[in-house]
Chain A
Amino acid sequence: MNRLVRAELRRLFSTPLWRWGPPVAVLSGGALTAMAVLVGPENFDPPMPGIDTGPGVRLVLSLIGLTVLAPALFGALAVTSEYRHRTITYTFLFAPRRHRVLAAKLAAYALAGTGYGLIVAGSAAIALYGAAAARGTEVGASPGTVAGMLACLTAAMTAYTVIGVGVGALLRDQTAALAVLGAYLYMVEHLLVLIPGVSAVYPFLPGGATAALTQASLMGEASIEVTGSAATLLPPVLGAAVLLAYALLAAAAAVLLPMRRDVT
């Protein structure tokens, strides 16, 4: 393994922050899914297709897409804490070609994000089948379809971790990264979906690309309620490609802008 990537993994696992990862992943995947299945989408307000239907399963699993802020923040903290604790000085002394440091962080956090995504997906699968069995309901999608959606959600968690690394490198400040990621994911994008003209670009926004991975989203359902029409989503593979493009865009911007700045 590349020595810079190994150093980034050691950096990650040598502070207590990573220990939050597994419990947050189980909450985001397992707990959320278990709750949605036990309540039942047919009891949501407005009522939605039940778990014994394909769209119902899709909808329940797509709720996990709402938790992407967690891996994005986790990725952002990887970079901003280097500036906050000024370890960036040593890091750039040991690797003065700064883009290599960022590339190593992207690679290391892609691995960590995949690990996070696997815990999310694994706990969601257990919760889906466990809670459905507890309610005595059939799961209305084949195991292959469920596995495919969970694989896509794992990819989404990886992509958002990498996007977080890019945003963290771009902003360098912990509070700013938290504010920007939170405001965008939970406010700006939701408002955009409700504007009829702008909703055409929704499939290409990070949230739309995430929804494409499960081919469903709560926002899409809400949009139907409000505007009477849902934005068309990209196919899952294209959705994943769009997310990856955002991650690379943020990383490229970071290499071109803040990574060149003086470290004083």
Chain B
Amino acid sequence: MPPHHRLEIRGLTKRFGPVEAVTDLTFDVEPGRVTGFLGPNGSGKTTTLRMLLGLVASDAGTARIGGRDYRDLPEPARTVGAVLEASNFHPARTGRDHLRVYADMLGAPAARVAEALALTGIAYAADRRAGGYSTGMRQRLNLATALLGDPPVLILDEPTNGLDPEGIAWLRGLLRDLAAEGRTVLVASHVLSEAERLVDDVVVMHRGRLLTTGPLTELLSDGTGLEQAFLRLTGAAA
């Protein structure tokens, strides 16, 4: 098992023209736990994840993985596996070939591709073109891509989009198992009912700013549920 990695976000800020996408954001994500990164659409979650992964440059602040910027990690895709969009595939390439391209970039053998396909349950469709995949199959292929490098950190943006109830239950089990192995799992979601059943810790964003962060149990201490707690927090912030 690779070493554990804490994610440390400090004073992270990003503007897109006149829009303040993320403002002075600070929080930690601990290894061995599933952390829910919650907030309505447009609250800045995706921009934060993209800054953490070096895809978007921040205007101020830092986002570190195990103490390093993403681009300074010696083996980035063996350290962090990320799922950011519903479809990042060439429609004419098969699922297996898609994974083999990225396995080549990692220097991973073909056997690892087969393992990732089996782990995500799409081995049966591996030799079909990704353009013909259902939304749920695409999510599984995304996960397989993220897991290719057997990374100690997983960062997933809305991973349950397009999954059927069976798929959601499967994903919940998989993420719990990965966290139990000591991995750091950060899951961005706006679907609170699903998040409540999955996460140990929460980071809540609203309009680009941090509303609260801590264990889920603390947030739910009044017994009203995550949705009520969330509405109470965003109501207070409005």
Contact = CB atoms under 8 A, between A and B. Distances in A.
A87 B89 contact: yes
Interface residues of A, number: 27
Contacts of A7: 101-102, 104-105
A148 interface: no
B226 to A, nearest CB: 28
B107 A262 contact: no
Q: Is the interface of A mostly helix, strand, loop or mixed?
A: helix
B105 to A, nearest CB: 4
Interface stretch (A8-16, A63-71, A220-228): A8-16
A241 interface: no
Contacts of A264: 47, 50, 55-56
Given A10-B100, A86-B87, A87-B88, A262 B57 contact: yes
B76 interface: yes
A94 B76 contact: yes
Which of B56, B82, B88, B89: most chain A CB closer than 10 A? B88
Nearest to A11: B101
Interface string A239-264: 00000000000000000000010111
A17 B77 CA distance: 28
Given A14-B97, A89-B84, A96 B54 contact: yes
Contact of B105 (A3, A16, A17, A262): A3
B112 to A, nearest CB: 13
Contact of B93 (A15, A91, A92, A94): A15
Contacts of A262: 50, 55-57
A172 to B, nearest CB: 15
A263 B101 CA distance: 20
A89 B100 contact: no
Which of B47, B84, B102, B104: most chain A CB closer than 10 A? B104
A3 B107 contact: yes
B53 to A, nearest CB: 6
A122 to B, nearest CB: 28
Nearest to B73: A96
A10 B96 CA distance: 12
Interface in B85-119: 85, 87-94, 97-98, 100-102, 104-107
B92 A94 contact: no
A264 B21 CA distance: 12
A92 B104 contact: no
B160 interface: no
Contacts of A10: 97, 100-101, 104
A86 B101 CA distance: 15
Interface string B62-90: 00000000110100110010101101111
A16 B73 CA distance: 35
B97 A90 contact: no
Given A7-B101, A94-B76, A96-B70, A15 B90 contact: yes
Contacts of A94: 76-77, 102, 105-106
Contacts of B47: 264
Contacts of B213: none
A16 B104 contact: no
A37 to B, nearest CB: 38
Given A14-B97, A17-B92, A89-B85, 6 more contacts: A81-B90, A85-B88, A85-B91, A90-B145, A93-B55, A96-B76
9 contacts: A10-B101, A14-B100, A17-B92, A89-B88, A90-B88, A90-B145, A91-B105, A93-B80, A262-B57
Report, nearest first, the 3 A-B pairs whose CB atoms are least far apart. Answer: A7-B104, A14-B97, A96-B71
